Chain A
Amino acid sequence: AQSVTQLDSHVSVSEGTPVLLRCNYSSSYSPSLFWYVQHPNKGLQLLLKYTSAATLVKGINGFEAEFKKSETSFHLTKPSAHMSDAAEYFCVVSERGSQGNLIFGKGTKLSVKP
């Protein structure tokens, strides 16, 4: 069975400092992994995805994530936070080659202080 754990429910950073949002997954098969962002009272938008190619994945708005199979992790990073990055972020896992569901993490709320 697949599962995903976002290790922090809330992360607070200062503008211009690095962002790290942590995600660990569990999957019996080769996983696909995704990060989505949700601004308040809005839908979700895909930030980036890993499906089996390069383990370092670059996304929109300067975000990137690295797939580490040995650590079963897919942490999201950004070198320098901007006020507009304040939002909720969801890590998502699915099993490639299956008809399976997407499993969403519970979300990490990112606050950015001026």
Chain B
Amino acid sequence: DGGITQSPKYLFRKEGQNVTLSCEQNLNHDAMYWYRQDPGQGLRLIYYSQIVNDFQKGDIAEGYSVSREKKESFPLTVTSAQKNPTAFYLCASNNGQLNTGELFFGEGSRLTVL
């Protein structure tokens, strides 16, 4: 089945550690996105990539980094510079621009900083 796979589903991290969240899609989509979700806050865009080897910052990119070496993969690294990293992280993809609104989402990764 086609879809987006995020791993791990749950992750615990000590303060000061970097952590990488995986996102893989087999939908042959060109564009991929990372969102952060906090309770009662909706979703906020961290980074997005519309083509391999290129990506752009979203609204809250500070403390995060990404790479897009393959069309299928868009990993997100939460660095120690991120002040409040505990959140639910969602990866999404589509074949158009972001403002087309039709996104396909993974099931998310919940990061907790101890």
Contact = CB atoms under 8 A, between A and B. Distances in A.
A41 B42 contact: no
B103 A99 contact: no
A43 B108 contact: yes
Contacts, number: 65
Interface residues of A, number: 25
A92 interface: yes
Interface in A68-87: none
Which range holds the interface residue count of chain B? 20 to 34
Given A106-B40, A106-B42, A32 B108 contact: no
Nearest to A105: B42
Contacts of A44: 43, 90, 92, 103, 105
A104 B92 CA distance: 14
B32 interface: no
A51 B102 CA distance: 11
B97 A99 contact: yes
Contact of B4 (A32, A43, A100): A43
Given A9-B40, A106-B42, A42 B107 contact: yes
Ranked 4 nearest A-B pairs via Cβ? A43-B105, A104-B42, A94-B99, A104-B43
Interface of A: 9, 32, 34, 41-46, 49, 51, 90, 92, 94-96, 98-102, 104-107
Given A32-B99, A43-B105, 8 more contacts: A43-B106, A44-B105, A46-B101, A92-B101, A94-B100, A96-B99, A101-B59, A102-B99
